[in-house]
Amino acid sequence: MTTIRDVARVAGVSPATVSRVVNGLVGYSTETQQRVEEAIAELNYEPDTLARGLKTKQTSVIGVLAPVVSDALASEIMSGVEAAARLHGYSVMLGRTGPSSTYAASYLRTLRTYRAAGVILISAAVTPEMRRVLGSSVPIMSVAIRDGQRFPSLAIDDEVAAYDGTRFLIGLGHRRIGLLAGDPTSVLVNKLRIRGYLRAMTEAKLTPVLESGNSLYDSAPPALGRLLSQDAGLTAVFALSDEMAAAVVNEVQRMGRRVPDDISVLGFDNTRTSQHVHPALSTIAQPLERMGELAVERLLATQDLSDGPAPRILPHRLIERGSTATFTR
């Protein structure tokens, strides 16, 4: 390992000067800079992150925590995070928190001892406890979830998005629209989306029909069964995740009915999954990659480290593909 001292020796300057040119500070002549740079190149010098971090109490790591790392939603957000992080010269550290933030505190502790520059929490709320373990020196924010104005976050307006989705279906002529929700007790977004659905249905004087799965593929068929046993005449199903929507599409066809002719299906999130099914899913798109990018940008821009940036709402967008159609009579 070549150190700053080696470079200093070769360049005929002090380590302090090398440090200054490496960090682009002031206080050296152009020719000194050149000598130092040559020495750096010659020795293939690379500053030691650990020593630097120890001294400056900051490293270029950004933590990303997701309930489960292999799911499509989290993956796409992480992808955006990675891109933005690399762009700004940061590294990303990955952690799985488990469905109910079980491991979150432990990861956060680790991240703190690494003196991370910030942490991004996917699909989970920042609890006061989390804030506490992080201390005041590392900002944290949530992505793809929000809870009023209480903590720093980046998300779409889930309530309005679900409202819009429901309105879209109504606009298509559907009257008997079932909602296939995720688990509303544990996942906040589901509560908001359900509220949006209910509002749209109520405003249109339609009867809500609602069942919950757990957002994953396998939970959808049974939930769809329950939905249909509540109202066998449903002409549209709004599923609150693309995986469930995909399952609905497949299940409906398996039952011998057609999508979208007999039943329209609307998904949520616009993950890759929405294209993996035929017909491809109409869905409410969240700008997932963009959210990841924005999250790191806002984190890095945060000045008052103690409580991060204010909540921000991103636009959602309805994408119409083949799984929805107008219903006439």
**66: nearest Cα among 114, 98, 111:** 98
Is the previous residue joined to 260 through a cis bond, with omega within 30 degrees of 0? yes
Of the pair 46, 261, the CB lying nearest DNA is at 46
- Contact indicator for 231, 174 with CB cutoff of 8 Å: no
Q: Does 13 bind DNA (CB under 7 A)?
A: yes
* Binding at 78: pick from DNA, a copy of itself, none (beta carbon under 5-8 Å per type): a copy of itself
Binding part of the chain for a copy of itself, among 6-14, 21-29, 94-102, 142-150 by CB under 8 A, reads 94-102
Q: Does 59 bind a copy of itself (CB under 8 A)?
A: yes
Q: Return d(Cα 117, Cα 130) in angstroms, integer.
A: 15
Minimum Å gap between C-beta 14 and a copy of itself is 21
Binding mask 101-120 for a copy of itself (x = CB under 8 A): --x-----xx-xxxx-----
Of the pair 158, 243, the CB lying nearest a copy of itself is at 243
Centre a 10 Å sphere on the Cβ of residue 10 and count the other Cβ atoms it contains.
18
Instruction: Identify the burial level of 149 via C-beta atoms within 10 angstroms of its C-beta, where 0-12 means exposed, 13-18 middle and 19 or more buried.
Output: exposed
| Residues contacting residue 318 through CB under 8 Å, at least 6 positions apart | 164, 165, 168, 282, 283, 284, 285
Binding mask 243-272 for DNA (x = CB under 7 A): ------------------------------
Name residues contacting DNA, limited to 33-92 (CB under 7 A).
Answer: 45-48, 51-52, 54-56
Minimum Å gap between C-beta 25 and DNA is 7
* Structure tokens that stand for 199 in this block: 């509002």
Work out which of 20, 167, 174, 193 binds DNA, going by CB under 7 A. 20
Residue by residue, DSSP assigns 87-128 as HTT-EEEEEE--TTSTTHHHHHHHHHHTT-SEEEEESSPPPH
Minimum Å gap between C-beta 159 and a copy of itself is 27
- Contact indicator for 118, 302 with CB cutoff of 8 Å: yes
Q: Does 48 bind a copy of itself (CB under 8 A)?
A: yes
- Contact indicator for 246, 182 with CB cutoff of 8 Å: no
Work out which of 147, 275, 297, 311 binds a copy of itself, going by CB under 8 A. 275
Give the binding site for DNA (CB under 7 A): 1, 3-5, 8, 12-17, 19-20, 22-23, 26-29, 31-32, 45-48, 51-52, 54-56
